[in-house]
Amino acid sequence: MDHAVSGFSKLSKEEKIHWIAREYFSGSDSIISLLKNYWNTDSALQKLHDEFIENTITNFYLPLGVAPNFVINGRKYTLPMAIEESSVVAAAAKSAKFWASRGGFKATVLSTEKIGQVHFIFNGDAKKLQDFFAQIKPQLIADTEPITKNMQKRGGGILEIELRSQTHKLANYYQLHATFETKDSMGANFINSCLEQFAKTFKAAAQEYQAFTEAEKNIEIVMSILSNYVPNCLVRAEVSCPIAELADKKIEDPQHFAEKFIRAVTIAQVEPHRAVTHNKGIMNGIDAVVLATGNDFRAIEAGIHAYASKNGHYTSLSHAAIENGIFKFWIEIPLALGTVGGLTSLHPLVKFSLEMLEKPSAHELMQIVAVAGLAQNFAALRSLTTTGIQEGHMKMHLNNILNQFEATAEERQQIKNHFKDHVVSHAGVVDFIKHLRQNL
């Protein structure tokens, strides 16, 4: 069947839904009902959500959970986490409680520099281009004054602009490499607006530069765009305590646990196959808080994974060591986050999440998010090096299996009682459900 359609964006939401039902589901009323069941009953709130993106037909829900008992730099927090994966919120909460009685988490913002680039092609004398840039640089900054004025009042703005030759990578390829401070905003629109003005000024001034030949005057601006790789927008989160204080009901031999834990981290540092899964667990915590606070988790993911490869091979984002009888565990990652702009003032649950975090600055949110990643990693490694990852995870996953098979309240109780003493697996649960139902 040919599903091509013209003018789809101009259809009403109702018309879009009916078109989808007709074209892909034989006009099924159940599909229409399914989509409408996820509409918000508050029409104003639904209209707000409809306008976040294009061609909206319904809402796609993710659970919003909370992980209490986080102590970060001496302050208590309850972290909002938007995620669908079983056991992530529980793991974060367990780590928070574990470290709250051992000094809590320490977090420090190391730097907040963000990056944008104008990519262009120049066919000519590199020395003349450098001379031209030196002359035009003050004008580049001056011409962005209408854009940067408000940001400068908040203590931000353009930090530096450099001309960078990349001709060793691609013939005639150069960059205007700019760095920015955007304070509490993530700054994407601000940075991109500055870059586009740089490009406009740069190209126009080249046309008037007398030292250029006619060919050299025709600089080709390829694109002007911020970078989501921000290796100088860094935050560090850490925990530490004397080895003896690691003891709890699952850690009977703290020294052995600490040594095994460090070996697990070291394996992730040298083995990329393990490092990817190790870092994915860190991102479970980071993404959940980033999403709950209205930030761009795709940008965060891309930047952090690039940072994990900064030395030429993909490695662990976290580190662990024993120094003078003290167990230390830490992470250092790039995070470009905002607490103003974007969805932060529009999405009601984003506003709720930020208020629950006591309206943090971008610096404070960087610290909170880094801690979420470290907590998640600690929980995963603690499980892996003691009881194994599946014991807790599969028990949390049990509810999903029971929902899939629409288990009754009586069945749920019998199944949960049974699996208190048996290993939870999807096949095992399914077989037990069939056994229960065959014996009714």
Query: Catalytic positions, please?
Result: 85, 280, 296, 393
Q: How far apart are CA 422 and CA 425, in angstroms?
A: 9
Q: Which of 303, 327, 148 lies closest to 226 in space, CA to CA?
A: 303
Cβ-proximal residues to 190 (8 Å cutoff; 6+ apart), any chain: 147, 148, 151, 180, 182
Strands 220-227 and 114-121: antiparallel
Percent helix, strand and coil across the chain, each to the nearest 5:
50, 20, 30
Contact between 81 and 283 under an 8 Å Cβ cutoff? The reply is no
Cβ-proximal residues to 80 (8 Å cutoff; 6+ apart), any chain: 64, 65, 66, 289, 292, 293, 352, 353, 356, 357
Spatial separation of the C-alpha atoms in residues 65 and 92, rounded to whole Å = 11
CA 96, CA 100: separation in Å to the nearest integer?
6
Lookup: tokens for 342: 């974007």
Structure-token match 């079983």, residue found: 86
E-strand stretches of 210-314: 220-227, 234-242
